[in-house]
Amino acid sequence: MVDRTTVLGLLALVALLAWVVLAGAGPAAHVFWQTSSVAFVVGGSVVAAFVASPGVGPRRLASILRNAFSVRVPSPDDVIIMLVALAEVARRDGLLALDKTVSGLKDDFTRRAMQMAIDGVDPDVIQAVCQAELESIDLRHAEGKAVLESMARFAPALGMMGTLVGLVVMLGKMDDPSRIGPGMAVALLTTLYGLGLANLFCLPLARRLAHRSSQELLAKTVALKGVLGVQAGDNPRVLAQKLRAYLPGAGRGQEFSWASVGRKSVQPPQVGAEEARPAEKALIEPPPVSVAPKPALDEETARKMAEQLQKMLRGQKRFVDAA
């Protein structure tokens, strides 16, 4: 999904610069375009970034730019809702009841961690494996951000080099005063291109990638702690409050409630008024201790739960109560 905020922000910056150019130059705005200067600044910045980062090539750079303009990570709120749903099922029917549901999860990190918990892997091993994966993700994101920051450092310097070259050429033609003004304008354009590339494109995208990296790591950390809580058999309400503590401001003003879960859930088919009321009540109130355990989920119910959890992870913020 395209990140509209990033696209609109960059377009707004370019529009403001174009407004300044048109307001100052008017019909003569075409003098602000110099193909050789653009090629020198943009091409030189990209090549210099490749030299500074040997592990980055054209494909990797294209992937970095694609990630800067797209949103692929579920929000921590979605992760918490999903894990609370899984905790409710695991507490009632056991971890093995989650096997088919977990296999349908779209997030690879959560699916792998949850599968290890279902297989009975020691919690310390799950923590170590997932923590290593988080560190690998962090390093990969830092590398992508560093490429754009390198381009932002090289672009102004290359622009200044182009300006100096243009000044040398202009000074060599001082015998014709009519060419001094246009020559100076062309010489200064490379500096403008370098500053524009660095401050209107590279630095904003680098900061955007840094923010998105922190959001992804936060969501995956919440997922890891939630999986460990599900494996330990935590009460769903207690687990929700634990995971909320990882959100900014410790989740204040976003307290978890069973009523909010009910509004985000997909209601099961209504087979009758008397049978529907207990299902609604289960979404709003925690189940009493004295309630007898329900039978294990059959294959059809598990398949439906997997499909509904997939829809929630695609951004619809839904989950299914297995009752």
71: amino acid identity, one letter = V
Indicate if the alpha-carbon torsion angle 189, 191, 192, 194 is positive or negative: positive
Q: What is the pLDDT of residue 66?
A: 85
- Given 3-state DSSP classes, what are the helix, strand and coil percentages for the chain, each rounded to the nearest 5? 80, 0, 20
User: Is residue 170 a part of any domain in this protein?
Assistant: yes
pLDDT digits (tens), the chain, 323 positions? 777 788 888 889 888 888 888 877 676 667 778 888 889 999 999 999 988 888 788 888 888 888 888 777 778 888 888 889 888 888 888 888 888 888 888 888 888 999 999 888 898 999 999 999 999 989 888 888 999 999 999 999 999 998 888 888 787 777 777 777 767 777 788 899 999 999 999 999 999 899 888 888 999 999 999 999 998 888 888 888 888 888 876 545 444 444 444 444 333 333 333 443 443 343 334 444 444 444 444 556 655 655 655 555 454 344 334 33
Q: What is the pLDDT of residue 157?
A: 93
Query: Domain check: are 167 and 311 in the same one?
Result: no
Hey, which residues does 265 pair with through a beta bridge? Answer: 319
Query: Domain check: are 235 and 253 in the same one?
Result: yes
Closest CA to 92 of 239, 226, 292: 292
Query: Domain check: are 204 and 82 in the same one?
Result: no
The verdict on pTM exceeding 0.75 is no
User: Is residue 240 a part of any domain in this protein?
Assistant: yes
- Judge contact between 90 and 230, C-beta under 8 A: yes
Query: Domain check: are 257 and 310 in the same one?
Result: yes
Query: Domain check: are 165 and 306 in the same one?
Result: no
User: Is residue 238 a part of any domain in this protein?
Assistant: yes
Query: Domain check: are 47 and 168 in the same one?
Result: yes
Query: Domain check: are 152 and 197 in the same one?
Result: yes
Q: What is the pLDDT of residue 273?
A: 37
What is the domain count for the chain? 2
Domain that holds residue 41: 33-72+137-213
User: Is residue 111 a part of any domain in this protein?
Assistant: yes
Query: Domain check: are 193 and 115 in the same one?
Result: no
Query: Domain check: are 309 and 185 in the same one?
Result: no
Q: How far apart are CA 192 and CA 197, in angstroms?
A: 9
Looking at residue 323, the DSSP 8-state letter turns out to be: -
What tokens does 316 get?
Answer: 């619809």
| C-beta atoms surrounding 178 within 10 Å | 8
Report the run of H or E that residue 54 belongs to, with start and end.
none
User: Is residue 288 a part of any domain in this protein?
Assistant: no
What tokens does 202 get?
Answer: 């590279």
Whole-number Cα distances in Å, 38 to 22, 45, 155, 159, 291: 19, 11, 11, 9, 72
Query: Domain check: are 51 and 174 in the same one?
Result: yes
